[in-house]
Structure 1
Amino acid sequence: MKLYIKSVDIRGFRAFERPLTLEFQCGINLVVGPVGSGKTSILKAIEFCLYGTVSEIKRRIYRKADIINDFSEAAEVTVELASSEKSFKITRTYIRKGFEQLKVQVGEKLLEGEPAEAEVQKIIGLTHEDFARHVFLDYHRLQEIIFGSPATRSLAIDKHLGLYTIERVFRSIPLGLVKEKLDMLAAKEKELKEELDSLPDREELVREIGELEEEARNYDRTIPELEERIKKLKKTLEEQAQKKRIYDELKTKQEKIEAIIEHYRRTRKIDPKTASDLLSALYEKIKENICEGFNLLYNLKKCEELTQKLEEKGTQLETIKLFEKYYEELEKEFDRFSTEIEELERERLSKDIALRNIEKEISVLQASKLEYEELEDELARLTEKYGSEKVLGEKLSQLEREIERLKNKMRSETCKVLLQKSVLEGKSDTCPICEQKIENIDEFREKYRKAVKNLSKLGKEKLESTENKLEEYRKAYDRIRLLRRRLVELEEVVAKYAELEATLEKAKKELEELEETLEDRKRLQVKIKGILRGARAYIKKASSLATALAGWKDITRLQKELEALSKNIDKLNFDPAEYEILENEVKTLTSNLENYKARKEELIQTLEDKRGTLAEIERLNAELAAISQKEKEIERFYKRLLKVRRALREAQSELRSRVIEELKERINEAFRAIYRYGDYEELDIRVENIRTEKGYPRSIYRLLAKRTRDGQWVPILPRLSDGQKSLIALIFAVAVHGLAENKPDFVILDEPAPNIDEVLKRSVAIGLQKLGMQQVIIATQSEILKTENAKIISLKQEMRKE
C-alpha cells in the first residue's frame, strides 16, 4: 500500500502557539524557513502524532511536557495519511496535566485508546525505532555514521541497520563485575591467610590447651582438700577462741588488781593529809582548765554548772567522776568546733577552686579581648584613612563609573584608529571620520601613527591607575565590613570578660576574709587542745590519789580475789602460744586457698582465650576453604562468559557481513543518484575483524570507495570534506530506507546536508526523485533544493505566533 502524508494540523506544539495547517503532495516537499521558524517542530509533530513521543524524549533530552507550547495548555497534532485505496486521519492530544488521547478516523470508523494505537502501528508498519532509522532521517543521527572513531561509527551503523541488539546484549554481560568479584575474593583470601599467619600454630595451641586443662584439673582436686582442712582448723580455732575470751577477761582483771595493789603499795608511803591537800590543788587546776576551755568555746553556762556542783559536798571518787563527765562534754564541744574548722577548710578549698576556674576562663577570653582591641584600632585607622563605610561605597561607585567612561572612550578611539588603518590598507580613499577625500596620504599616515601612540600611552595609563585605585578602595571596603562583623561577634565575649573580672575581685575578697577566720579558729583549736591534754593529765593523777585514799582497806580483799583468779586461769588449760600458732596456720592456708582460686580463674580465662583463638583459626580455615571453592566456581563462570562474548562477536561479524551484502547494491544506486563529484565512482562497506587493545576480537565497518583516477579501493572518510561526509551519510541512510519491509512510502529529512554548496543541495533533491520515492519531506533553510514539480512551504519567524 503506497502511503504518503497528505496534511498536518498543529496546535500548541513546541514553537506553534496558534493553529497551523500544512498540505503536502507526492514527490518533493520543501519546508523552508530561517533558524527558529519551526521547521523541525513540524517534523517532530508528525513523529509525535504517529508514536506519542519523539526521539529526544526517549533519550531523556527533555520531558514530554516540554512539547507543549509555553502559552498553551495542550498540544494537538492531526496527520492525514492517504493511499490509492483509502485515507487515515490520526489525531493525538497531550494535555499539560499528563492526559493523552489518540483518535484514528478510518473512513466512517472512529477508534480511540488502545485499539487506535494498534491501528496506527498496523497502518505505519514500523516501530518507533524502525521509523527513526528508515523514515525520519535526522541530521544528528546521520552525523554519528561518519564522525568519531571506527568503533563509534560501527555502533551508529548498527543502530541504523537494526543490529544494535547484539551489542546491547554483549555490553550487558557483566564480565567486569565478575572480574571484580574474583579480585575481591582473591584479596579476601590473601587477607584471611595473613590473619591466619598472625595467629599461633594450631598444633602448638592444642598442646597448650591440653596442659592448661590438666593444670586446672589438679586445682579442682587440691582446692576441695584444702577447703576441708581449713574448715576443721577453723572449728578447732572457734573452740579455742571461747577459752581465749575467758582467759583474756580473767587476765585483764588479774592485771588490774595487781596494778591497784602495786599502786596502794607505792602510795602507802604518802601521808593521807598530804595526799588530801595535793588532791584539792589538782581539783582546782582541773576546774580552771575545763572552765577556760568552755569559755574559749563560748559556753560560759557549763563553767557555772561545774562550779555549782563542786560546791555540793561528795566523796573523792564522785568528784573525779564529775570532772570526767565535764571533760567529756568539753571534748564533744571541741570535736564540734574541729568539725566547723574542717567545714571552713572545705569551703576555703571550694572557693579557691572556683577562683582558679574564673582565672582560667579569663585567660581563655584574654586572646579574644586583645583581638577586639586590635580590630577596633584597625577599624579606626581604616575609617580615618578612607572614611566611613557609606562614604567609601560612594567612592567605589564613582570610580566604577570613571573606569566605564575611560573604557568607552578607549573603544571609541580604537574604532577611529581601526577605520584609519583600513584607509591605509587601501580599502578606501575617503576619511571614515570626516568623510573628506584624502589628498596627502603621508600626512594621513602620520596622523594615524600619532593616534595609535596616544591611544596606547595616555588611555591605558589612566585606566590602569584608576583600576588600581578602585582595587585598593574595594579591599578597604571589604576589610571594614569584615571588621565590623567580627567586632559584633566579639562584643559578647568582651562583656563576659569584664563580668568575670568583677566576679574574680569579689571572690578574692571573700577568700581572704575566709582565710583570716580560719586562721583565728586554728590558733584557738591548738590552744584548746593543750588545755584538754593538761586537764586529762590532772584528772588521771587525781584519780590515782583518790583511789589510793579510798583503797587503804581494800588491799586484803583484793589479794584474795587475785588468788582466786590465778586458780581459775590454771583450770582453764589455755595456752596463748598454741592458739597463735593455730591462728597463723589458718591464715596461711586461707591465703594459699585464695591464691589457688585466683590461679584457677586465671587458667580458666587463659583457656577461654586460647579456645577462642582456636575457634577463630577453625573459622578462618573454613572460610578460606569456602572462598577458594567459590573462587573456582566464579573462575569457571568467567571463562564461560568470555566464550559467550566471543560467540556474540562472531555472530555480530557474520550478521553485519550478511546485511552489508544486501545493502551494497542499494548504496551504490543511491551513490550514483546523489553524489555529483567525479573523484569516486563506487562505494563499498566491508566488515573487518580486529582485536582491541586488550586483545579481544571484534569487528568494525570500513567504508571504501573506488577512486576514478586509478581504480584503487581506498578508505574514503579521511579523504572527504565535512560536506562530502554528510552526503555519504545521507546516501547510506537512503539505502537503509529501502531495506525496511512494510514501510510507508515517504521519507522525512531534517536539514540532511547543511554544509554542502547550493548546487549540490539541488542535486540531492533531484537524486531522491530519481530513486523513485513517492514522497520526500525536507526541512531546510534554502529554497535552492527546489526541483521541477517540488512544493515549497515557506515559514517565517512570525508564523510561530500567528
Structure 2
Amino acid sequence: IIYGTDMQRSEALDRLLGIETLEKIFRSIPLKKVEDELLKIQSEIDIINARLGREEPLDGLMEALEKYKGEFFEIEEKIKEKERILSEYRDELKKLKEKERDYEKIREKEIALKAEIAQLKKRLKSLEREVPEENFGVLIEKMRSLMASALREVMAYKDLEEIEKLELSQVDLDFIFQIFREKLKKVEIALENMNEEALDINYQLASQRNHYNNLKHRLADLEAKLYTLERDYNIYKSLTKKFGTRAEIRKKIEKLEIELGKIDNLVRLHACINNLGKHVVKTYIKKGEAICPVCETKINEEVLNRIKEKTSAPKEEIFDREKIMKDLEELRKAYLKLGELEEKILEMKELENEKNRLARELDEVSSSIEELEDMISGIDFKISKISNLVTSVSSLFSKLTRVREIAELRKELKAKKQELDRVLREAIEIEFDKNYYDIIEEKYYTTLHEYNNLDSRLKKLNLNIENLKEKIAYIQELMNKKMKLKKKAARLSALRDDLIEIKAAFREIQSSIRRTVVKRIIEKMNDLFQQMYVHPDFSELTIRIRDAKFRREGREYERSVYEILAKRTRDGKWIPALKKMSDGQKRIVILSLLTALFKLSPHNASFIILDEPTPSIDYECRKAMIKMLAKIEGIDQVIIATQDESFRRIVQDEPAALIYKLEHGKEGARIEVLR
C-alpha cells in the first residue's frame, strides 16, 4: 500500500474492502471475446461477399445450364445416327477385308520381289563396272603362279608342292578358294614373323647407334679433359726443369732453412750487442760515466767510440736473409704446385687408358652397326617383295570373288524374275476392286471423324454442365453460409449489448459500495490518526476515488484508484500522503487505515500481531500508537515483535504487558521471560 503503484495499491485496498470479487466478476465478463468473435464473423462475411463479387450472377448461370442441356440432347441424337451409318460401312468393309488380306499378301510379295530384283541389278551393274570380262580359268592360273612365288619366298616348299600338283579343272571351285585362302594365310603369317624379326633388328640397330653416340660423347669429353691436363703436364715439365723433382726441391728447402737459422741467430746476437751498447752510451751521456755490465770495466771516451762503431746494424747479413727467404718461398710454392700437378698427371694417364678402351669399343660397335644394317637391308627387300606378292594375290583373289559373285547374281536374278511372273498371275486371279474399297474406307473414316467430333463436343458440353453445376452449388453454399453468419452475428450483437449493460451495472455497484465503505473508513481512520499522530503539522486524513486507464495483457480498460490525502495545518491544503509525507508519517497513516478496516470489518479475531510496526516513527508517536491499540474494543491481546528497546519503556506502565527476549545460540533458540 505504501510503496506499490497506483494499480497495486488499489487492488490491495479492494481486497481489504471486499470489492476484489466484484472486480474479478467484472473482468470475467467476456465482452472482448464476443467483440472479437463479431469481428471474425464480419470478416468471414466480407470474404464471402468478395468471393460472390468475383462470380457471375446465379440467374445467368442457371440460364446457361439449361442452354447446355438442350445442346447436349441434340448432339446425342446426331451421334445415334452416325453410329447406324458406321455400322453399315463396317459390315461392308469386313467383307472386302477378307479379299484384301490375300491381295495385300500378294502385293507385298510383288513389292518385295521387285525391290530384290532392283537391288540385284544394281549390285550386278556395280560389279560388272569394277571387274572387266576375263576368263575364269586364266585368273585361277595367275592366282596359282603368284601364290607359288609367295610360298617360295617364305620357303614353304611343302605348300608350294601341293599348289603345283593341284589339278584346277578337276577340283570344286569352293575347294580351290579354300586352298588358296589357307596358303595366303600362311604367307601372311610368315610375312608378319619377318616384320617382327625386322622390328627386333631395328631395335638392336637403334640400341647400337645410341650406344655408339654415347661412346662418341664420352670420348669427346675425355679428349677435352686430356687437352686441359696436357697444359698442366707442360707446367710440370717446366717446374722440374727449373727446380728439379719434389725430392730435390725438399733437400734445397731443408738446406736454406738451416742457413736461415744461422742468419737469424747472428741477427739476434747483433741485436743484443746493439741494445747493450745503446744502454752503455745512454748511461754515459746521462751520468758522464759508465761501467761495462759484462766485464765491469770503467768506460772512457775511446771505449765509448768503439762501442758506437760496433752498434751499427749488420746490413750484409740482413740482405742475405731476405734473398734466402725469397728463394725459400719460391721453392715451397714449386713444391706444392708439383704435388698438385703429379695428381693430375696420374689422372691424365688413367684418362688415356680409358680413351684407348673407348676407342676400341667404338670400333666394335661400328662393326656391329654395319652388320645389322646389312641384315635389315636384306630383310626389308624380302619383306617388300613378299608384301607385293601378297597384295597381288589378295587383289586377284578379290577379283575372282567378284567374278564368281557376278555369276551367282545372274543366276539369282533369273530365279527372282520367274517368281515375280508367278505372283502377278496370282494377283489377277483374285477379284478385288481396290478403288471401291478405298471409297468405302474413306466414307467410313469421314463418318468416324464426324462421330468423334460430335462425341468430343458432347464430352465438352458434359464437362461444362458439370462445371456450371459445381459453380452454382458453390455460390449457393456461399449464400447459405453468409445467411447463417448474419444470424449468428445478430445473436452475438444482442449478447454484446447485454454484456455492456451488465458491466455498467457491475461498475455502478462497485462505485456505490466503494463510496459507502470509504466514507465509513475515513471517519474511523481520522479518529485513530489523531490518537496516534501527536504532532500539529497534519490534522486530518481523507481518501478520494478517481477513474484511471490501465493496460493489461495488451488491452486498455478503466478502473477506480484510491488516493490517500493529508490536510496540512499551516495552510489547510490537502497533499498526497504517500508521496509527500516521511516514511514514519506514511506508516502512521497506513496503520490508521488498516486499524480502521480491522474495526469496521466483521471478524472473530481477538488479537493483533505487528512485526516491527514503527521504523522511522518517533518515540511519542509510538507511545500514542500502543495506547490506541490497547483501547480497541474486542481485542484481548496485541503481539509486537521488535528489536527496538524503547518498547520496553512504553509498556512498562501497562500492568498486563508481558515481555519476552528471544536469542539464538549454539544450542538453538532460547526464550527468556523478562516480565
- Scaled by the length of structure 1, what TM-score is found? 0.42
